[in-house]
Chains A and B, each alone.
Chain A
């Protein structure tokens, strides 16, 4: 039953950039005898083992869950964030690459995502966008019975489509403008759909849009590259909804906490 394992070889052009240095360069490496069952990141593991064995500093790249949900992995492969197809880098399989192929690997670097080292970028701007208002203000403690507020099934599904975002930042890396509109609008869209998110809805959109701009992301120009690169298939419809809520927030005042304002 144990057939000889099929293998392949590739040449890698990998972006290497020392820490604290704003310039980097491509370095070429060859990796041989990669089992076809290996994933792309496992191929990089093999490369790093070779580098460590030969006394070189391993290529720094990020990954964690390796099942496409934590959003840590972040490589641009041959010019596309997360490579060909709508998946995360960790879900890329070597069997989809040709034997002998040359593969260029770069970080998710954009104006807002600075490269830290090699293939690692700083995506903390995304956290700060959430920090500015991407939540419902509730403290821990007893809460009302959830079934007392029915929510239509399709509304929940729509909210879940948006909150499926894993915060990997592929949308930013894919956007020719380096815009975080898809990321920001997915969180705004998720909370704006649910009854629990209504109270802070318009204040939230105002704060999050301002935070997004302050972090140095570009503007949306409706290329829809973000949607095409999103491993979780998040639709650009949420960007439209964010814009609409933002217009509402501007007309009706920024921090609109409900229809009747306290005086």
Chain B
């Protein structure tokens, strides 16, 4: 069994973070420049952490597979960022945000972490405004708010439909400032392919120079993974086409435990799949559900156009089933409801797998101009892609894979089970339990990057003052040889399946069997199918070009190889978690009304998976969740 000590400080919930900071080790300002910290990824978490650490004086090496740090996929977050400022005096507080996040996550997250997140949230807004992030303001010049799913207060701060972009630019600019100061060294177009562990400590990474194909290494006293989630395993998702799980998976194989891999959020409002060619599903911000009403026709196989369907024949299923929250139920609930409606034959669109999200009433009530000013860019985006104008007819939407609550297991310091290896942002599992609320991922990334990691990392670094390992250590040469071996193997197969075709088939299997609704039989079937695909990959994949060149086919192949392993673990985790909770809906465990039925007695824990080598199966460890401050209740949004 693994030692899963989360190192939660004792004391009252409200004081844990402060008292923790009072008691941990620190590295003095004069010594910080002697430490090398490696940060992989430059999304909100990575860029904010790297810039904060560099500003403290550490020497930071930042690795990205993009050409520029600003391309990271945090940029695509649309709706907003939560913070319990209580500007609206509508009853918001740290405790309320903590409660909402825990309830939203269906009581599967660690209380101390979530509470700390809520405490930090207000500071994030202060920090970002000071950087020049242009949050929306009211006419009086004060910050504006809107509301998001799963909550009864308005606490979401936003910049039109491009909040993630503006926050990322703030972090990116801070990062570039540190590059200018010489404290950050950027390694663009460099993809991490392995972690180097020496005597049980993370000591560096192996990366591929994506222009020359050279396999190189970099050493540091700490490695921070801010590489996002693994949702792209599903192939069709709202993730970017290059998003991948390689960094966290390789770290996992070197000893970092992987928690709750099956917790994957399916976002309810995305543009539906239109065909096999599709490379990407586009998300329509959850903020649309503030004014859009979701419905399907009451008649199965309806053929009339939506405008011709009278009010009485429209089934506003969210409003009817969940009168309190209505269209603003959490994402997992909204997604499942859409799936049920379509599975029952009420779906619309050419595939029958879409539902309507209608702004007719909002436009009548508030006027087209108001709606345009609120959501104009989203409406335009939809029209560009589908060729239909949402001002004239309702959006057609369907759920799509969006976010991974699961990820590398971390303790209160955000350190994984490998000392010296940290995981922040979506790459870790810590704060969202079994479902994430809208506008919380930006909050978590920035809390981790600006405020938490920069203060906790010193605890692990301080003892290493005169204990450095360079890239001349044999472990580095060994890891480089491993990576070269893997690449050569992939290049030498020269079979007949393209990496893309295998990825698409993996995605379909995961979506059908490990998506919005799961059962034991299907999950077992999916595992078997993934094993076949893995066989096919290693015997029959076809990669053209040269390994010593810019080779996007090879890049994809290496990522797909890891997705296959991640996908398998996701299915196993889903299979072994024999309850329903949040996004994880096991058909065997539902209430009479078709809602999620938790089993707190057996499954009030995080499933923490341990890699035990190629030949041995994964081992499932557990970290019990202690309900000290909130007693788990049935999650009701009715």
B234 to chain A: closest CB distance in Å? 15
A19-B211, A71-B71, A72-B71 known; A124 vs B188 contact (CB < 8 Å): yes
**A184 to B132, alpha carbons, bound, how many Å?**
16
**A75 to B618, alpha carbons, bound, how many Å?**
44
**A156 to B134, alpha carbons, bound, how many Å?**
6
- Chain A residues in 8 Å Cβ range of B352: 1
Task: Please name the residue on chain B nearest to A136 by beta carbon.
Answer: B132
Task: Please name the residue on chain B nearest to A44 by beta carbon.
Answer: B279
* Pairwise interchain contact A66-B275, C-beta atoms closer than 8 A: no
**A164 to B279, alpha carbons, bound, how many Å?**
25
B447 to chain A: closest CB distance in Å? 11
A1-B350, A66-B240 known; A52 vs B553 contact (CB < 8 Å): yes
Binds B, one of A141-149, A235-243, A252-260: A141-149
* Pairwise interchain contact A57-B545, C-beta atoms closer than 8 A: yes
- Chain A residues in 8 Å Cβ range of B14: none
Interface residue from B72, B127, B140 paired with A150 (Cβ < 8 Å): B140
* Pairwise interchain contact A42-B454, C-beta atoms closer than 8 A: no
Question: Is B544 an interface position by the 8 A CB rule?
Answer: yes
Question: Is B123 an interface position by the 8 A CB rule?
Answer: yes
**A56 to B67, alpha carbons, bound, how many Å?**
25
* Pairwise interchain contact B240-A126, C-beta atoms closer than 8 A: no
Binds B, one of A76-84, A115-123, A218-226: A115-123
Question: Is A138 an interface position by the 8 A CB rule?
Answer: yes
* Pairwise interchain contact A60-B550, C-beta atoms closer than 8 A: yes
- Contacting B at CB under 8 A, from A39-78, are 39, 41-43, 45-46, 48-49, 51-53, 55-58, 60, 62-72
Task: Please name the residue on chain A nearest to B55 by beta carbon.
Answer: A139
* Pairwise interchain contact A52-B131, C-beta atoms closer than 8 A: no
Convert A143-172 into 0s and 1s, putting 1 for each residue whose CB lies closer than 8 angstroms to a CB of B. 111110011110010011001101100000
Question: Is A137 an interface position by the 8 A CB rule?
Answer: yes
Q: How large is the interface on A (under 10, 10 to 19, 20 to 34, 35 or more residues)?
A: 35 or more
Binds B, one of A99-107, A173-181, A191-199: A191-199
Q: How large is the interface on B (under 10, 10 to 19, 20 to 34, 35 or more residues)?
A: 35 or more
Binds B, one of A8-16, A22-30, A127-135: A127-135
- Chain B residues in 8 Å Cβ range of A63: 241
**A131 to B186, alpha carbons, bound, how many Å?**
11
A206 to chain B: closest CB distance in Å? 14
**A142 to B124, alpha carbons, bound, how many Å?**
9
Question: Is A247 an interface position by the 8 A CB rule?
Answer: no
* Pairwise interchain contact A136-B141, C-beta atoms closer than 8 A: no
Question: Is B1 an interface position by the 8 A CB rule?
Answer: no
Interface residue from A45, A72, A93, A191 paired with B384 (Cβ < 8 Å): A93
Convert B26-56 into 0s and 1s, putting 1 for each residue whose CB lies closer than 8 angstroms to a CB of A. 0000000000000000000000100110011
- Chain B residues in 8 Å Cβ range of A46: 277
Binds A, one of B157-165, B246-254, B589-597: B157-165
Question: Is B126 an interface position by the 8 A CB rule?
Answer: yes
**A191 to B134, alpha carbons, bound, how many Å?**
9
Binds A, one of B166-174, B433-441, B510-518: B166-174
Task: Please name the residue on chain B nearest to A45 by beta carbon.
Answer: B279
* Pairwise interchain contact B550-A120, C-beta atoms closer than 8 A: yes
A19-B549, A45-B279 known; A62 vs B176 contact (CB < 8 Å): no
Q: How many A-B residue pairs have CB under 8 A?
A: 233
- Chain A residues in 8 Å Cβ range of B68: 123-124, 126-127, 167
A59 to chain B: closest CB distance in Å? 9
* Pairwise interchain contact A152-B275, C-beta atoms closer than 8 A: no
Question: Is A95 an interface position by the 8 A CB rule?
Answer: yes
* Pairwise interchain contact A140-B73, C-beta atoms closer than 8 A: no
* Pairwise interchain contact B130-A144, C-beta atoms closer than 8 A: yes
* Pairwise interchain contact B350-A65, C-beta atoms closer than 8 A: no
B506 to chain A: closest CB distance in Å? 16
**A130 to B168, alpha carbons, bound, how many Å?**
14
* Pairwise interchain contact A65-B76, C-beta atoms closer than 8 A: yes
B446 to chain A: closest CB distance in Å? 9
- Chain A residues in 8 Å Cβ range of B169: 163
- Contacting A at CB under 8 A, from B477-501, are 496, 498, 500-501
- Chain B residues in 8 Å Cβ range of A153: 136-139, 141
Task: Please name the residue on chain B nearest to A43 by beta carbon.
Answer: B277
A69-B165, A194-B132 known; A146 vs B140 contact (CB < 8 Å): no
* Pairwise interchain contact B143-A146, C-beta atoms closer than 8 A: yes
Question: Is A250 an interface position by the 8 A CB rule?
Answer: no
A99 to chain B: closest CB distance in Å? 16
- Chain B residues in 8 Å Cβ range of A3: 350
Question: Is B4 an interface position by the 8 A CB rule?
Answer: no
- Chain B residues in 8 Å Cβ range of A126: 68
* Pairwise interchain contact B130-A134, C-beta atoms closer than 8 A: no
Question: Is A2 an interface position by the 8 A CB rule?
Answer: yes
**A137 to B351, alpha carbons, bound, how many Å?**
52
* Pairwise interchain contact B132-A151, C-beta atoms closer than 8 A: no
Question: Is A91 an interface position by the 8 A CB rule?
Answer: yes
- Contacting A at CB under 8 A, from B107-158, are 123, 125-127, 129-132, 134-143
* Pairwise interchain contact A64-B387, C-beta atoms closer than 8 A: no
A42-B278, A58-B552, A64-B240 known; A156 vs B136 contact (CB < 8 Å): yes
**A141 to B52, alpha carbons, bound, how many Å?**
9
**A63 to B73, alpha carbons, bound, how many Å?**
11
* Pairwise interchain contact B141-A150, C-beta atoms closer than 8 A: yes
A52-B553, A69-B165, A153-B137 known; A143 vs B279 contact (CB < 8 Å): no
- Chain B residues in 8 Å Cβ range of A213: none
Question: Is A216 an interface position by the 8 A CB rule?
Answer: no
* Pairwise interchain contact B137-A66, C-beta atoms closer than 8 A: no
* Pairwise interchain contact B542-A52, C-beta atoms closer than 8 A: yes
* Pairwise interchain contact B550-A19, C-beta atoms closer than 8 A: yes
B72 to chain A: closest CB distance in Å? 8
Question: Is B569 an interface position by the 8 A CB rule?
Answer: no
**A123 to B352, alpha carbons, bound, how many Å?**
43
- Chain B residues in 8 Å Cβ range of A42: 277-279
* Pairwise interchain contact B126-A144, C-beta atoms closer than 8 A: yes
- Contacting B at CB under 8 A, from A190-211, are 190-191, 194, 196-197
- Contacting B at CB under 8 A, from A88-116, are 91, 93, 95, 116
Most-contacted residue by chain A among B55, B140, B162, B279 (CB, 10 A)? B279
Ranked nearest first, the 3 interchain pairs of A and B with the lowest CB-CB distance are A150-B141, A135-B173, A146-B129
In the assembled complex, 9 residue pairs joining A and B whose CB atoms fall closer than 8 Å, in A order, are A67-B280, A70-B71, A124-B67, A126-B68, A131-B177, A135-B131, A142-B123, A143-B126, A163-B169
A63-B241, A146-B135, A167-B70 given; 16 more Cβ-contact pairs under 8 Å: A41-B279, A45-B500, A49-B501, A52-B553, A56-B544, A64-B71, A64-B241, A64-B242, A66-B282, A122-B67, A140-B52, A140-B127, A140-B451, A150-B141, A153-B139, A156-B135
